[in-house]
Amino acid sequence: MEPLSAVLSGVRLKGSISAAWELHAPWGMVLPEAPFAAFHLVEQGECWVHSGDGHHRLEVGELAVLFGGRPCS
């Protein structure tokens, strides 16, 4: 079983919200603390995620899972 599948198999989903954004440079957003995990998939281009453990570049097809509890920009 791949690692993401292993993690998700033990998660109990209680709800969902979906959105699709088309963003162009320069852009940015700050995500406040939240009691849930947010999944972000890059469908085109690239982006950067800045969190408490550093800066991470995401490219097409990559997924970021941001767990609640800390703000992220």
CA-based end-to-end distance of the chain? 31
For 2-17, write each residue's pLDDT tens digit: 777 777 777 777 777 7
pTM: 0.64
Q: Which of 37, 49, 42, 38 is nearest to 21 (CA)?
A: 42
For 50-69, write each residue's pLDDT tens digit: 877 788 899 999 988 887 75
For residues 55 and 49, the answer to whether their CB atoms sit within 8 Å is yes
DSSP code at position 10: T
Give the domain ranges of the chain. 22-73
Number of H helices, E strands in the chain: 1, 4
Q: Is the torsion defined by CA of 40, 70, 16, 27 positive or negative?
A: negative
